Amino acid sequence: MDMKSKKFKDWEIFFKKNMGNRYPDNFLISMVLQEFRKIKYNERNKIKILDLGFGAGASNLFFLNKENFKTYGIDISKSACEKVKKKIKKSKLNIDIKQASFDAIPHKDSTFDLIIDCRSIQHVDKSLLNQSLKEIKRILKKNGKLFSFFMYSEEKKSGFYTNYMTKKKLQNELNKHFKEIKFGFLKFSFLSTDKADNTFWITKSKK
């Protein structure tokens, strides 16, 4: 991805002024801890997990590190990376982060047991989605998994490019690279009991 693209400038401006991802996602916490429930805490450091698009708040990284997983992250924003590096250094944590785009991930083949995506892949341009999923598959270990939260609809648009996808379209894209794809659906509203302000696909895919 061209680091000088308009979308990168938008995220860069955002993370210069905002934190983003200040709190870990509750569904992600449940999914990760359930996935590795049979692994003892003192043995979790053998499990390598990569967070895609950690943002300046990087809450998922700190959650994973606190739970003793071997923690990695990538984000396209230079400002987000700089802010998080300062936090990591200040707290003396062992977290590996890199500035990179999803279609060119700077990690070796078959590195990770799990890759998590909390509404980050949804912002990848359609032309780069297939290559990004191909890269994710490449760096996953055999039988490694991808947990992804993908926007289906939102009442108030964020202003960032978002690739809204139906279940059929998203499943077709995931089927090109993964197997045993499982879908969940999340919808919520703060104002209505019969209308959702935001809806998401929650997917679990296996290499």
pLDDT in tens, the chain (207 residues): 333 334 434 655 555 555 555 667 788 899 999 999 999 999 999 999 999 999 887 889 999 999 999 999 999 888 889 999 999 999 999 999 999 999 999 999 999 999 999 989 998 888 999 999 999 999 999 999 999 999 888 776 666 778 888 999 999 999 999 999 999 998 876 665 667 678 889 999 999
d(CA 174, CA 168) in angstroms, rounded, equals 10
How many other C-beta atoms lie within 10 A of the C-beta of residue 81? 21
Q: Which amino acid is at 169?
A: K
pLDDT for position 4: 34
Which helix (H) or strand (E) element contains residue 91?
A: helix 78-91
Query: Which residues, other chains included, contact 43 with Cβ-Cβ below 8 Å and sequence gap of 6+?
Result: none
Q: Which two tokens stand for residue 181?
A: 């794809």
Q: Find how far residue 7's CA is from the centre of its chain.
A: 17
Closest CA to 148 of 132, 161, 159, 131: 132
pLDDT for position 28: 87
Which helix (H) or strand (E) element contains residue 61?
A: helix 59-66
8 Å CB contact between 71 and 61: yes
d(CA 88, CA 60) in angstroms, rounded, equals 13
Q: Which domains does the chain have, with CATH numbers?
A: 6-206 (3.40.50.150)
Q: Which two tokens stand for residue 17?
A: 């002024």
How many other C-beta atoms lie within 10 A of the C-beta of residue 3? 12
Q: Which two tokens stand for residue 32?
A: 């990760």
